[in-house]
Amino acid sequence: MKISVAIPDSSLIEEPSPLDKALKISQIARACSIFRVNTIYVYHEADGRDRDRSLLRITLRFLETPQYLRRTLFRKTDELKFAGSLSPLKIPSHVQTPDPKKVKQGDIRDGVIVFARGGKYIDVGFEQLIPYYGSEDVGKRIIVQFKEGFPNLSVKQIRREEIKQYWGYEVKESSSLSNLLSAWNSHVIFTSRKGKTIHRTQKYFQEISDSEVLVVFGSPKRGVHEILGKALGNIPRSQILNFFPDQATETVRMEEAILGTLAILNILSHN
């Protein structure tokens, strides 16, 4: 099962301070990384604020970016004021040697295209830049695989889909949940306490075990029923599921819902 998640831009509305907002985003990023989420979609919702949407987008992308590329790809802004104190993801694309002498043929790294000495090069976090012969623009983040190790360090550009291990999530935005769903061509799971309890749907998870699945979360103030209204019943290949039956708390917070839901899906997809 390949999982993507959809969260509203109102996800941070109840957080009282910029630090609280940053910590919540960090928890979301960690949960999505633990359970190999492909894409985090941020959709616009009625209570959403432009500033929160920008903070979500930038901080999620910052956390997913390897540390050695952050200074090149992100300028200093108030939105990233607390980013340096957030928990690192430590996904495979981040856990890389800083020593070029340890690079071997076949190793994979993220890099960014830079202009130097009259031509294009790739910065992969070493003092030594690597010549780039492709067509991507300066400033573009790419993935490269080493054709030769140290001292030659020649590379070829590859796509994320060519990498067998998890390499991180993408962050995309949508003007509304309805627009996101209309463009999605696979299975959808809506999370709601009004949905079917999860233990009654084992056959469903067997059917979608090899599929791409979009897991949709409502906002802190409005669930998916309130956001979509009657349209909720007309979404093809969708299920409305309750992952927290008999919850004792009045609400389940966004970061808790994402972590708990993805943990359950991880177990079900490996049965």
Q: In what order do the strands lie in the sheet with 187-197?
A: 170-174, 39-43, 2-8, 212-216, 187-197, 238-242
Mean pLDDT per block of 10 residues along the chain (271 residues) reads 96 95 97 98 94 96 96 92 93 91 94 94 93 93 94 92 95 97 96 88 83 96 94 93 93 94 90 69
User: pLDDT value at position 203?
Assistant: 82
Q: What is the pLDDT of residues 16-54, one digit of tens each?
A: 999 999 999 999 999 999 999 999 999 999 999 999 999
Alpha carbons 21 and 16: distance in angstroms, whole number? 8
Closest CA to 193 of 268, 230, 248: 248
State residue 152's pLDDT score: 86
CA 127 centroid distance within chain: 29
> What's residue 210's pLDDT?
87
Give me the percent of the chain exceeding a pLDDT of 70.
Answer: 100
- Reported as type and span, the H/E element at residue 191 is strand 187-197
| Structural domain spans, the chain | 2-90+168-269, 100-162
Q: Give the whole-angstrom CA distance, residue 136 versus residue 124.
A: 15
Fold of 100-162: OB fold (Dihydrolipoamide Acetyltransferase, E2P) (2.40.50)
**Cis bond leading into 236, ω under 30°?**
no
pLDDT score for 157: 96
Give the CATH architecture of domain 2-90+168-269: 3-Layer(aba) Sandwich (3.40)
> What is the average pLDDT value for the chain, to the nearest integer?
94
For residue 207, what pLDDT is reported? Answer: 86
Look at residue 96 in the predicted model and tell me its pLDDT.
Answer: 85
Q: What is the pLDDT of residue 88?
A: 95
Q: 2-90+168-269 and 100-162 share one CATH topology?
A: no
Predicted pLDDT of residue 205: 85
Is residue 187 within 8 Å of 213, Cβ to Cβ?
A: yes
pTM equals 0.95
pLDDT at 6: 98
